């Protein structure tokens, strides 16, 4: 979600001047600087890292790749490196306001559908990639699940199944999290100002949202007053260019602020809409709930496609730092049982032989 491209591009110029190897960022923050505080990383850790005790949580090294760390965007930050200009990746441009608005309700709903279908494609790509985690006998393939060297979502030649699966799922998380910052689903309008394109109504609803059902085939009809923000490079209030007389990203986003990566507590909102009431905290809470729902749905999708046993080992391989040791399948477990039996028989035979010698 964060400050969108203007603030992002300015941040990039500053970072490029002050430090080598800086990269672009968009939406909820992906970098530390230019008003961003790595919000996507912190949201993802608060939702899915093992520090908070969630089931099937991501262990530290794997969480580093999913959420990003230091100067690494991670999987959740990947859209800010190569999908900056795609509104579907960030749920932008589905803006609408009743009464003579430049975009019709149907046009806004179609744009929202584009976002959902874009995220569904990434969801399915993740399910497809997971097939490569296991061999035909259900064992994890060590070279496909290793995280050393660390996965790189910007490396087009990255072929490891674990890396590809987590990258696709990270892109799902990015768009799902942006939905809560870039729309009015979770927020409230400023009660001190009249409703308009600079102060759209808020729905003040919790996450997860039925609009982001990525396992379904249809897209739920959005509420009458639902809107996201229109985005162009010169993001401002009032809107300019294609966003003239429209609700802009600048008017609606709740991208910036501090998020505790363990508890998810949100403080110090950094955008005008985020500073109204508890809007930033509500957007963060919705995004965390949505991230957990998407992971639950992804696990369910693995089970539906591959069966319960294989899906369980896939989830283990995706979340553990050392899947080759932690996620043994039926063949290796069977070998282990045989070894235990043989050792037990040998120990018993040795005990009998010693007893006879003593007699």
71 vs 140, residue with greater confidence: 140
Q: What is the pLDDT of residue 20?
A: 32
Residue 95: how many CB atoms within 10 A of its CB?
Answer: 31
Q: What is the pLDDT of residue 47?
A: 97
Residue 38 — φ and ψ, nearest 5°? 50, 45
Closest to 315 (Cα-Cα) out of 166, 215, 175: 166
pLDDT in tens, 164-223: 999 999 999 999 999 999 999 999 999 999 999 999 999 999 999 999 999 999 999 999
pLDDT band for 99, please (50, 70, 90 cuts): very high
Q: Which of 22-36, 147-161, 231-245 is predicted with the least confidence, judged by mean pLDDT? A: 22-36
pLDDT band for 14, please (50, 70, 90 cuts): very low
Q: What ranges do the domains of the chain cover?
A: 4-328, 329-359
In the chain, the N- to C-terminal Cα span, in Å, equals: 80
Closest to 219 (Cα-Cα) out of 135, 106, 116: 116
Identify whether 208 is preceded by a cis peptide bond (ω within 30 of 0): yes
Q: What is the pLDDT of residue 303?
A: 98
Average pLDDT on 221-230 reads 97
Contact 47, 264 (CB under 8 A): yes
Indicate the pTM of the whole model. 0.84
Identify whether 238 is preceded by a cis peptide bond (ω within 30 of 0): yes
Q: What is the pLDDT of residue 331?
A: 56
Contact 101, 119 (CB under 8 A): no
């Amino acid at each position: 979600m964060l400050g969108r491209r203007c603030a992002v591009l300015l941040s990039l110029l500053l970072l490029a001047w002050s430090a080598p190897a800086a990269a672009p960022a968009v939406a909820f923050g992906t970098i530390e600087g230019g008003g961003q505080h790595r919000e996507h990383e912190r949201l993802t850790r608060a939702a899915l890292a093992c520090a908070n005790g969630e089931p099937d949580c991501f262990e530290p090294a794997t969480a580093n790749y999913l959420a990003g760390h230091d100067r690494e965007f991670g999987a959740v930050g990947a859209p800010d490196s190569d999908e900056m200009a795609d509104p579907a990746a960030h749920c932008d441009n589905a803006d609408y306001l009743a009464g003579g608005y430049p975009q019709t309700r149907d046009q806004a709903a179609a744009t929202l559908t584009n976002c959902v279908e874009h995220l569904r494609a990434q969801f399915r790509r993740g399910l497809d990639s997971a097939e490569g985690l296991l061999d035909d006998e259900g064992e994890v393939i060590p070279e496909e699940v290793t995280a050393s060297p660390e996965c790189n979502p910007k490396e087009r030649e990255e072929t490891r199944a674990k890396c590809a699966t987590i990258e696709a799922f990270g892109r799902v998380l990015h768009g799902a999290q942006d939905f809560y910052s870039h729309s009015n689903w979770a927020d409230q309008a400023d009660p001190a100002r009249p409703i308009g394109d600079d102060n759209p109504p808020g729905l003040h609803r919790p996450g997860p949202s039925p609009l982001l059902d990525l396992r379904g085939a249809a897209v739920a009809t959005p509420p009458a007053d639902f809107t996201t923000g229109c985005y162009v490079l010169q993001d401002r209030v009032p809107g300019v260019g294609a966003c003239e007389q429209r609700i802009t990203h600048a008017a609606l986003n709740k991208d910036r602020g501090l998020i505790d990566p363990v508890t998810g507590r949100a403080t110090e909102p950094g955008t005008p809409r985020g500073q109204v009431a508890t809007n930033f905290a509500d957007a963060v809470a919705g995004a965390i709930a949505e991230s957990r729902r998407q992971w639950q749905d992804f696990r369910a999708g693995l089970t539906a496609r591959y069966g319960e046993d294989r899906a369980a080992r896939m989830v283990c391989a995706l979340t553990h730092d050392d899947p080759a040791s932690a996620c043994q399948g039926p063949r290796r477990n069977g070998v282990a049982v045989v070894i235990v039996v043989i050792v037990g028989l040998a120990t018993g035979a040795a005990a009998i032989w010693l007893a006879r010698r003593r007699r």
